[in-house]
Structure 1
Amino acid sequence: MIKAISFSLLLVSATATAQIYTCTDPQTGRPIYSNYPGCTVMNAGQAAPGQVVQPTPPVQTTPQPEPTTPATPPVQVITPQPAQTASQHLPPLPVVSPAPSLMGPIMGALKWLLFIMAIVGALVMMMPRQRRGARGRGKQPDRRQDPRTESAPEAPPELVFRPVLKKPMDYGNARFCLKKPALLSAREQGCYWRLVEHLSPDFIVLAQVGFSQLLSVKGGTGRQNYALFGTMRQKVADFVVCRKDLSVVAVIELDDSSHRGKEEQDKKRDAAVRQAGLLAFRLPNTPGNEPVKNLADVLRWMYLGADSVSSTTGQSPTAKEAR
């Protein structure tokens, strides 16, 4: 701001020193502009009066008569011309008249503009100081009234936690009901009783067990483990074979009509079961006694030893009732 004001003042002083001289040609009557001071007076913003230069009157001389001689012709008498009077003037000199110029109004406007800018700049520089002084003066009375609070630390604001009460859901006429009258279908029940017949009393057979109760995931990041677990948590195993202490040893799937067109998914499911360290078996839609008997012999040979494999098997409750 100060630099701008200094530059403006310098500009005003430079323009003020420039002088313009004007004269009028007496023959054409046109104005002639010049910066030579000998032409006319300086154009100071006011019309200079016309100046007429009076010539110096010539000195009147009286002619002396020359002596005449008889041999010379008669002397002609020279009558002197009357001297020009003072009233007869020479051609008028150029009349000085100031040229119209806009520098005067422009310089006046610039002076007022610079004056206003200087006032505004001074006010702007003074306002922040007044505000800081007012703030400082406003804090001093508080310190004087309670000087002991200067060293005491301010207590943190007390946080109040209000429990958010959820509005109870209006369920209307919705109610729970039984999804199926029986846990297993007729074909699943036939396969279940054959498994119980050939695996008991050494193993326990469970039906419709969710894989979320059997499998877990580890080794990856949290997101990776969660994504991999999501591929199996919604699936359900048809049958699970356990020992007497309920430790899981095998998972058995019944390939009925629900598995048609899902061969790739079944392969991924069997791979997940084997990766967890369990055996995976698949039985046909309506298995006979021979496939189930062979499955039971494999489990006894792997977990109980070769001596436990025998041709005798337990009987299911249905067979006992038939007898």
Structure 2
Amino acid sequence: MFDLSQFIFFVIGCLATFALVCLLFPHLFTRQKKFYPKRVITAFESRMFTRLKDAFPHHHILAQVAFSALITHDQIKMRNQFNRKVTDFVVLDREYNVVAIIELDDPSHIGKEQEDAERDAMLIAAGYTVIRYTQIPSIRQLQRDIR
């Protein structure tokens, strides 16, 4: 049979549990998202950026360029393979044509060689020159590698 006092205790228990969850995990019930700034490039990458500018003073150097700004494909399934990928640097000539794409591999790339090769293959298939460095090269080395 229906016992009103048990039902009231059940409802009060549910409300108390819900209130406790709200207090302990408020982020589960709020729609506001807090955004935080982050550096565009790392300190290691900033040294490479400066080196590229010094090596190619008459070129444009772009940092953190989305693959979707460089390549596209007719099929959305193929675009999904690169739509969130970013390349470290793009060297442009005076007419804003891509001369080379530069990837700077720090220790975080260890074990990701296959993934890096797949990324490079997409860009190379689109006709770009991709150069990877594990250390910041000299100005002379950059000028030899990027003609």
Report TM bin, short chain: 0.7 to 0.9
> How far is the alpha carbon of 1:235 from its aligned partner?
0.7
User: Which of 1 and 2 has greater Rg?
Assistant: 1
Identify the residue that residue 287 of structure 1 maps to in structure 2.
136
State how far apart, in whole Å, the 1-side matches of 2:137 and 2:125 are.
Answer: 29
SS of alignment partner, residue 244 of structure 1: coil
Match for residue 176 of structure 1?
35
Alpha-carbon distance between aligned partners in 2 of 1:173 and 1:279, rounded to the nearest angstrom? 43
Residue in structure 2 matched with residue 230 of structure 1 by the alignment: 80
Residues 295 and 262 (structure 1), Cα distance of their counterparts in 2 relative to 1, 3 Å cut: same
Report the counterpart of residue 98 of structure 1 in structure 2.
Answer: none
The CA deviation string for residues 142-169 of structure 1, in whole angstroms up to 9 with x for no partner, is xxxxxxxxxxxxxxxxxxxxxxxxxxxx
Q: Say yes or no: does 1:209 pair with 2:65.
A: yes
Structure 1 counterpart of 2:87, which letter?
A
Distance 2:45 2:84 in 1: 20
Measured on the aligned residues, the alpha-carbon RMSD in Å equals 1.9
AA aligned opposite 1:294? Q
Alignment of 1:48-127 (within 5 A): none
SS of the counterpart of 2:41?
Answer: coil
Q: Note the C-alpha offset of 1:298.
A: 4.0
1:246 matched to 2:86: no
Structure 1 CA distance for aligned equivalents of residues 43 and 137 of structure 2: 15
TM-score by length of 2: 0.72
Q: CA deviation at 1:270?
A: 1.1
Q: In the aligned structure 2, how far is the partner of 1:247 from the partner of 1:192?
A: 18
Query: Separation in 2 of the partners of 1:287 and 1:190?
Result: 8
Provide the C-alpha distance between the structure 1 equivalents of 2:123 and 2:45, rounded to a whole number of angstroms.
21
Match of 2:57 among 164, 181, 200: 200
Output one character per residue of 1:71-95: Cα deviation in whole Å (capped at 9) or x when no partner.
xxxxxxxxxxxxxxxxxxxxxxxxx
The alignment covers a number of residue pairs equal to 119
Distance 1:268 1:172, change over 3 A: closer
Q: Distance in 1 between matches of 2:107 and 2:141?
A: 24
- SS in structure 2 at match of 1:266: helix
SS at match of 1:250: strand
Residue 174 of structure 1: how far off its partner (Å)? 3.2
Q: Distance in 2 between matches of 1:278 and 1:288?
A: 20
**Distance (Å, rounded) in 1 between the aligned partners of 2:54 and 2:111:** 31
What residue in structure 2 maps to residue 255 of structure 1? 105
**CA distance in 2 between partners of 1:183 and 1:242 (Å):** 19
Which structure 2 segments of 5+ residues have no match?
Answer: 1-28
Give CA-to-partner distance per residue, 1:217-272, whole Å, 9 cap, x none: 14xxxxxx211111111110000111112222211101112212111111111111
Distance in 1 (alpha carbons) for counterparts of 2:137 and 2:33 = 44
Between Structure 1 and Structure 2, which shows a larger proportion of helix residues?
2
Query: Percent of aligned pairs with the same residue?
Result: 34
Query: Which among 274, 278, 294 is matched to residue 124 of structure 2?
Result: 274
Partner of 1:299: 146
Shift of 1:293: 2.2
Report the Cα offset of residue 171 of structure 1.
6.1
5+ residue gaps, structure 1: 1-169, 219-224, 301-323
**Alpha-carbon distance in structure 2 between the residues aligned to 1:213 and 1:171:** 34
TM-score by length of 1: 0.35
Following superposition, the deviation at residue 177 of structure 1 comes to: 2.9
- AA matched with 1:191: M
Tell me what 1:187 maps to.
44
2:145 and 2:36 map into 1 onto residues whose CA distance is 41
